A and B are shown apart, each in its own frame.
Chain A
Amino acid sequence: MTEELHDVRLTVNGSAYEIRVPARRLLSDALRHDLGLTGTHVGCEHGVCGACTILVDGSPTRSCLMFAVSAVDHEITTVEGLANPDGSLGAVQQAFVECHGLQCGFCTPGFLTTITAGLRENPTPTHEEARDMIAGNLCRCTGYQNIVKAVERAAEIGAGG
């Protein structure tokens, strides 16, 4: 029994990729293992932890809850696509450095993508809104204190712009 393979064209961080995968290939696995974009991490594979969060047409989405074959018509952004065009850290990334918003770094890509989109929608969040922005992502290291600070710092240095 040979599993049927599908030709899938994914657009990730502005580049087009052609892959051949079975229908059951999770988008998270396709990004990581077929495209080699290992910045997207897999923490639970049931949509709760948020480590695998990517932007699908600009909206934060769990890549472990999508199949690669379903992602064909979308523009995908992963953590690898968040730096400035000149290679310097983007505002959210920079804020994470300044605020010590990460420790082991495993959950971090999911926070970065989520916050990037969150600040685009709401560039000047209140403290409560800053907390709410990250309310769907788990972190086991930081106790979230400095991640909330990083959201506010990123807003300050203009991540929404």
Chain B
Amino acid sequence: MTTKLMGQKVQRVEDQRFLRGLGRYVDDVNVENDATMLHAAVLRSPHAHARILAIDVDAVLDIEGVHAVWTHEDLTGPMAEPLPLLIPHPALTHGRTQYALAKDEVNYVGEAIAFVVADDRYIAEDAVGLIRVDYELLPPVVGVDAARAATSLVHEDVPGNVGARLEQNVGDAPAAIAAAPHTLVLDLTIERSACMPMEGRGTVARWEPDLNRLQMWTSTQSSTGVRAAVAVKLGLDLGQVDVITPDVGGGFGVKINHPWPEELLVPMAARALGKTVKFTEDRREHFISSAHERGQVQHIEVGFDDDGRLLGLDVEFWHDHGAYTPYGLIVPIITSTQLLGPYKPQNYRVVFESLYTNTVMVTPYRGAGRPQGCYAMERTMDAIAKYLGKDRADVRAVNFIQPDEFPYDQGLIFQDGRELEYDSGDYPASLVKIKELVGWDEFPAFQAEMAAQGRRVGIGLACYVEGTGVGPYEGAHVHIETSGKVKVATGLTTQGQGHATVFAQLVADELGCSFEDVEVVTGDTRRMPYAVGTFASRAAVMSGSAIHLAAKRAKEKALTIAADALEADPSDLQIVDGVVSVKGSPGTSIDLGTVSVLSNPLRYAFDEASKAATQFSVGDPGKPPVPEDEEPGLEGRDFYSPERATFASGMHAVIVETDPETAEIRILKYAVVHDCGHLINPMIVEGQIHGGVAQGVGGALYERMAYDESGQLLNASFMDFLMPYVTEIPDGIDIDHLETPSPLNPLGIKGAGEAGVIPSAAVFAAAIEDAEGIDITAMPISPSELYSLRQSQGQEHSA
């Protein structure tokens, strides 16, 4: 085996398990002992804003099969304190987090109030229904407008409902706009959607009295984060807590927020009751208690020259962060910085207010603020082109950062607290590809031809740059066992990205072992206790790089030992298919497994490799069996910590048709050009793009969180929250890749996970606007809304 696996469409190793129904998701954990395991259910607030006057749980304990019920009153020590604010920021002057169980007040429909543990979930739900709570209703604040008006306050001690206000400036945008030959003003809105993984949240915990430690499984994007939180909240030493991430049925961001109340309550209950306890969130709970994202109102002022070149850009936006801010300002900071995309604004001012509302809190959803930023910028580009009567692609092109300008410092501070400095990219080349792929230049003729038949078609284009692979670090451990099998662990978690495959590709390439011999474990704190998590399109860049480095270390050690055994120079050795041999002398060789035996001076002869090892002699008899600075075992461990994020980019184009009578919106063609540097596995990258595009279609045309004025979520089910089926997704997504390597990591890779969803709102708004000739300033858009726009336009004309 000499073919590099990097860049190959390697089939996924994890599929075997999943396709046989042998995946092990959190609700599958301990299922063999279901009869003795306890199950939890949560009483959630039916009101968006209320004071809790009294809670009566008496009726609950009479139910056969109920073991315990907790309310805030029953919590002690750190458990009774508010949940952590994970990412503080100086601008977040009024950060607030909820309690594991509400104390005195509830601030959204769905906030946890009581926690019941029973023999099964059915009984636990029966019990929840019998808890009586007296509420004093308070006026709810729903939506950005109500939050800004601040007639009522979400939190009494947060004036104006403003959690944070952050301004960044590059140059003097207001002055540049005032001096510009042309100016435009845009007011845009974008609504909430949510990650909505097919598997909701879930946690299982077991207190092991024999080991004096807690074991828990949780459907998370950060097992190390949950571990640290649980240890602190339950008053345990970190070393007493193991957090294992089982198979995860999708995350898309919502499982990065932690700890969720249940991630603390379940282990607390398990320890208190001495039983394994399981909580499995149901779909309704997921709608009303797991995070949402996207809602913003934006005001944009822009100044530009005759070519459409930006001279100054002044953006003000209001970000609805819901009832609490556990994840700090990550989402609006990303919006405010990534808004710039591939462009040079010359002068830029951005200011946002992050506002409280009595709705489910907002934390990152795939794209994490970028879709909103892309929407603001790309709608602005379209508006400039329209104003100047220019081709929309040309206006973009004059504003691109050019390939010879990298690294390019945008002069802002990014989400990771580092400078927003783009490492590499080639935007003009991407534009050429996307125009070709979608048929940009041919489109006007097609549009005219359709118009002649009474049909309306439109085309849209949107460009983005995505900071991926943010730090601070990830680590990896590579262990070559005496069998020759290679066990790899990295701490971040997996939610379907195929890590077990792509990381094995990297290890096989670096180590020279066979791909089939590599087994990758992610998200298990017992195997790698130092890790950050899977979010921000960072897994391939961060853990991929760490694994590459760790494999390199293991390889170096293997070569050193093998050189000793084979009496050769390490530089003369090669590893192919798990066998170390002297280059040009294949007979002089030793298996990696045998090298592993030799790496451990305690050579109990248990296996064939151990017997084989007896023919070799290694080590310096004049030194201790394990020399200083060395360790027994054939292992490599390393960490990757980049200076800053690496910036992927891409462009999407879509052609839509709108029905002149019913205003239905049909997608005729969807094209993607994507540049995430070197591809590890193109099959998996394309799968990520497909999924992102589908979520984008959902977010642009179907999905929204429909809150009424009282803060009730009216569509908390899959009946009314319109996640697309195959019938709503384009039949075919045309993808072309550009591979501009990153100089920041050893593999030249950039992240790919979120890209597919970023330009959706922008690109669909542009295409519908092109088809209809009506300004599209609010997304998502439904046929009903498009029809209303047509009506109001008609009324304006007749007025």
Partner of A100, one of B12, B21, B64: B12
CA distance A127 to B731 in the complex (A): 10
Q: When A and B form their complex, what is the total count of cross-chain residue pairs whose Cβ atoms lie within 8 Å? A: 182
Shortest beta-carbon distance from B23 to chain A in Å: 5
The CA-CA distance from A147 to B122 in the complex, in Å, is: 34
B769 at the interface (CB under 8 A from A): no
Q: Across the interface, which residues of B come within 8 angstroms of A78, CB to CB?
A: 21
Of B403-411, B468-476, B722-730, the one with at least 4 CB within 8 A of chain A? B722-730
Do residues B11 and A108 form an inter-chain contact, with CB atoms below 8 A?
A: no
Chain A residues near B731 (CB-CB < 8 A):
127, 131, 148
A46: which B residues are within 8 A, CB to CB? 283, 717-719
Q: Could you tell me the distance in whole angstroms from the C-beta of A121 to the nearest C-beta in chain B?
A: 18
Of B32, B691, B693, which is in contact with the most chain A CB atoms at under 10 Å from its CB?
B691
Majority secondary structure of chain A interface residues (helix, strand, loop or mixed): loop
Alpha-carbon gap, A41 to B44, bound state (A): 24
Contacting pair B196 A108 (CB below 8 A):
no
> How far apart are the CA atoms of A79 and B199 in the complex, in Å?
17
Given contacts A37-B21, A79-B21, A142-B687, contact A103 B497 (CB under 8 A): yes
In the complex, which residues of chain B have a beta carbon less than 8 angstroms from the beta carbon of A137?
Answer: 725-726
Are B694's CB and A144's CB within 8 A?
yes
Number of B interface residues in the complex (CB < 8 A): 61
Q: A102 at the A/B interface (Cβ < 8 Å)? A: yes
The answer to whether B729 touches A105 (Cβ under 8 A) is no
Q: Who on chain B is nearest to A94 by CB?
A: B19
**What residue in chain B is nearest A95 (Cβ atoms)?**
B19
Residues of B within 8 A of A112 (CB): 19
Q: How far is the CA of A39 from the CA of B27 in the complex (A)?
A: 11
A2 nearest in chain B by CB position: B64
* CB proximity of B193 to chain A, nearest CB, Å: 12
CB-CB contacts of A97-137 with B at 8 A, as 1s and 0s? Answer: 11010111111110010000000000000010001101111
The answer, among B31, B249, B683, B726, for a CB contact under 8 Å with A144, is: B726
Instruction: Return the CB mask of A21-57 against B: 1 if under 8 Å, else 0.
Output: 0101100000011101111111111101101000000
Q: Which residue in chain A gives the minimum CB-CB distance to B727?
A: A135
Binary CB contact string for chain B from 745 to 770 against chain A (1 if under 8 A, 0 otherwise): 00000000000100000000000000
User: Would you give the 0/1 interface string for B681-724, flagging 1 where the beta carbon is closer than 8 Å to chain A?
Assistant: 00110110111111100000000000000000000011100010
* Contact A79 B20, CB 8 Å, known A104-B197, A104-B248, A140-B198: yes
Contact residues in A for B23 (Cβ distance below 8 Å): 39, 105-106
Knowing A24-B122, A103-B496 are in contact, say whether A36-B31 is a contact too (CB < 8 A).
yes
Give every chain A residue within 8 A of B250 (Cβ-Cβ). Answer: 103-104, 106, 140-141
- A49 to B, closest residue via Cβ: B718
B211 at the interface (CB under 8 A from A): no
Per the CB 8 Å criterion, the residue count for chain A at the interface is 60
**Which A-chain residue is minimally distant from B120 (CB atoms)?**
A33
* A1: Cβ under 8 A from any B Cβ: yes
Beta-carbon contact of B21 and A80 below 8 Å: yes
**Shortest Cβ gap from A147 to chain B (Å):** 7
CA distance A11 to B268 in the complex (A): 39
Contact B690 A41 (CB under 8 A): no
Residues B199 and A45 in contact, CB atoms below 8 Å apart: no
Closest to B252 in A: A140
CA distance A2 to B733 in the complex (A): 56
State A22–B34 Cα separation when bound (angstroms): 15
Q: Does chain B have a CB within 8 A of A70? A: no
Q: Across the interface, which residues of B come within 8 angstroms of A132, CB to CB?
A: 727
Whether, in the assembled complex, B495 has its beta carbon less than 8 Å from a beta carbon of chain A, the answer is yes
CB<8 Å pairs between A and B, sample of 30 = A1-B64, A2-B64, A39-B22, A41-B198, A43-B249, A44-B717, A46-B283, A46-B718, A48-B717, A79-B19, A80-B21, A82-B21, A89-B20, A97-B11, A97-B12, A97-B16, A97-B19, A100-B687, A103-B497, A104-B250, A104-B496, A105-B18, A105-B249, A132-B727, A135-B726, A137-B726, A140-B197, A140-B691, A141-B687, A143-B693
Please report B residues at the A interface, Cβ cutoff 8 Å.
11-12, 14-25, 27-28, 31-32, 34, 63-64, 120, 122, 196-199, 247-250, 252, 282-283, 495-498, 683-684, 686-687, 689-695, 717-719, 723, 725-727, 729, 731-733, 756
